[in-house]
Structure 1
Amino acid sequence: MSFFSGKVVIVTGSSNGIGRGTAVIFAKEGAKLTITGRNAQSLEETKQLCLKAGAKQSDILELIGEITDASFNERLISATVEKFGRLDVLVNNAGGASMTNFGKGIFDIPVDEFDQMMELNVKQVLRLSQLSVPHLEKTNGAIVNVSSIAAFHQQSKMPYYSAAKSALDQITVQMAASLIKKGIRVNSVNPGPVATNVVVAAGGTKDDQDKMFAGMGSSMPLGRVGLPDDIGKIILFLADRSQSEILIGHIVTADGGVTLKSAMFPDA
């Protein structure tokens, strides 16, 4: 029997990309799922993939809402516990960037965008995690945050996004140190390039997105860009106490070797 059989998992931002791939993997492992996003049609597609993976209709809760809305954060946790009676894993996957000022210097970008990036990538994670603690404490549960290798870059074409992800990494560490005392493990995965609709979601065009991914794989040490399943498997591992109990406050770089490269050794 799978470790996740009968356990309850929330995956935010699960209407596409990494969130969708992660939800399907948990469904295969027998978990009960709350999936959430802003697009009802896309979320329904995720649900159907979870059902195909082996989940029952009664084991899936769909919630449409804006992840930066504090009242929706409250509903997400309360509705999950009301339906399933418990919570074992919170996957804070939802987040995003903005293409509006892509490539501009940090002082050429309105500070309002910084506020937007912090709301989308950090503050909602804090709210959801805080709301989940009383329930995760009862189950010796886990929180897995999804950050980005953008947090590591010394120079970025999206400086406020990188700053927000750096903040999220530090939040992961601080949460981990605090919550392990309650039996809750917190870790993070920081993906590199992953083939999703991330550019379109950030306000770019499909053409922009295709250009970004075209040829990117050949320049990566691994020889290909990541796939949602690649990241989903790491999230599953980090949430599985039977496999990764000793990992606490760990930030897993999942980038196909991108961060091995540097200006000094560009052909690494």
Structure 2
Amino acid sequence: MPRFSGKTVIITGSSHGIGRCVALMFAQDGANVTITGRNAQRLQETKQQILNSGVSECHLNSVLGDVTTSEGQDELIKTTLDKFGKIDILVNNAGASIMDISGPTGVDQSMDIYHKNMQLNLQSVIEMTRKVKPHLMETKGEIVNVSTIGAGPHAQPDFLYYSIAKAALDQYTRSSAIDLIQHGIRVNSVSPGIVVTGFIGAAGLENESARKFYEKLASNKQWIPAMVAGKPEDIGNIILFLADRKLSSYIIGQSIVADGGSTLVMGVDFGAAMQ
């Protein structure tokens, strides 16, 4: 029997990248899955990919919406409960480094950019956790947050506000884990390093430039000692592990780093790599 048979999972930011991969992995492993995103075309592509893998549409709930809004959050939860009757797992995956397209970098970026980064990468997680808590209390469920190695102790001037938001998310993971374990809810996170997704494209690089970016990073062992960029499946496997209470029941409030060894040397100069 698939290990998540009968379980219901909400995955935010599941219209592409790691979120899409994780949705497919959960669905193929027996879960009822709610996918969501703001881009209708990409969300439909995720849905079709899951259906094409042999998963029945009765196990899939697709919600076009914005997880940074109260309305979007409520719709996610309501439609999931309406279709599947419960919530067992919440994967807070939605996130992005929102850049100031007008040009300023570092501390010169506007407060509007700061608030947008915080709203997506931190506040939406806090709000979703609060709203899903009573349902996870009933199922003794799991929360898995997706952070980044950019939240670590090394300075990130190119992604200043994003890194601040994710560093706060790491503290929220630790603190909420201790608060919620008394109710039988486990909270953990994964911190990816360089993973080939649309993330860099969203930060301003075109497809060909993004490809060269990943190749440049992987070719330098001072940036990625494993000398290979990660795949969404690498992160997906960790998320499913953390969501599987049989395998990870004694892990509480931790973040698993998956970065090919980058944080052990931390020689990555993102600004140089993007040039």
Q: TM-score, normalised by structure 2?
A: 0.91
1:45-89 CA distance string (max 9 Å, x none): 111222233321111010001121111111111110111000000
**1:54 counterpart SS class:** coil
Q: In the TM superposition, what is the alpha-carbon distance from 1:38 to its structure 2 partner?
A: 1.1
Structure 2 alignment gaps of length 5 or more? 268-275
1:17-59 CA distance string (max 9 Å, x none): 0001101110111000000011122112111222233321111
One-letter amino acid of the structure 2 residue matched with residue 172 of structure 1: T
Task: State percent identity of aligned pairs.
Answer: 46
Find the aligned partners of 1:204 and 1:165 in 2 and give their Cα distance: 21
Find the aligned partners of 2:254 and 2:55 in 1 and give their Cα distance: 30
Find the aligned partners of 2:178 and 2:61 in 1 and give their Cα distance: 31
Structure 2 match to 1:266: none
**2:5 counterpart SS class:** coil
The alpha-carbon distance between structure 1 residues 92 and 80, as it changes in their structure 2 partners (threshold 3 A), is same
Structure 2 match to 1:54: 54
Q: In the TM superposition, what is the alpha-carbon distance from 1:104 to its structure 2 partner?
A: 6.0
Q: How does 1:139-178 map to 2 (within 5 A)?
A: 139-156=139-156, 157-178=158-179
The alpha-carbon distance between structure 1 residues 101 and 45, as it changes in their structure 2 partners (threshold 3 A), is closer
Find the aligned partners of 2:23 and 2:176 in 1 and give their Cα distance: 23
Q: Is the 8 A contact 2:99 2:113 kept in 1?
A: no
**1:214 counterpart SS class:** helix
Q: Which of residues 236, 250, 267 is equivalent to 2:254?
A: 250
Match status 1:237 vs 2:241: yes
Structure 2 match to 1:68: 68
Structure 1 alignment gaps of length 5 or more? 264-268
Find the aligned partners of 1:155 and 1:227 in 2 and give their Cα distance: 25
**1:256 counterpart SS class:** coil
Match status 1:213 vs 2:214: yes
Which stretch shifts more, 185-194 or 112-121? 112-121
Find the aligned partners of 1:99 and 1:208 in 2 and give their Cα distance: 17
Which stretch shifts more, 236-245 or 102-111? 102-111
1:217-263 CA distance string (max 9 Å, x none): 12211121010111001000000001000001011111111001146
Structure 2 match to 1:194: 195
Q: Is the 8 A contact 1:99 1:199 kept in 2?
A: no
RMSD: 1.7
**2:82 counterpart SS class:** helix
Q: Is the 8 A contact 2:228 2:260 kept in 1?
A: yes
Structure 2 match to 1:261: 265
1:187-237 CA distance string (max 9 Å, x none): 000000110011222344334422321221122111210101110010000
Match status 1:19 vs 2:19: yes
Q: Is the 8 A contact 1:11 1:93 kept in 2?
A: yes
Find the aligned partners of 2:135 and 2:30 in 1 and give their Cα distance: 20
Find the aligned partners of 1:82 and 1:261 in 2 and give their Cα distance: 48
Find the aligned partners of 2:177 and 2:240 in 1 and give their Cα distance: 17
**1:215 counterpart SS class:** helix
Q: In the TM superposition, what is the alpha-carbon distance from 1:95 to its structure 2 partner?
A: 0.7
Q: In the TM superposition, what is the alpha-carbon distance from 1:103 to its structure 2 partner?
A: 9.6
Match status 1:181 vs 2:187: no
Find the aligned partners of 2:88 and 2:54 in 1 and give their Cα distance: 19
Find the aligned partners of 2:67 and 2:201 in 1 and give their Cα distance: 18
Find the aligned partners of 1:172 and 1:27 in 2 and give their Cα distance: 25
Q: Is the 8 A contact 1:101 1:109 kept in 2?
A: no
The alpha-carbon distance between structure 1 residues 260 and 236, as it changes in their structure 2 partners (threshold 3 A), is same
Q: Is the 8 A contact 1:9 1:90 kept in 2?
A: yes
One-letter amino acid of the structure 2 residue matched with residue 164 of structure 1: A
Q: Is the 8 A contact 1:14 1:35 kept in 2?
A: yes
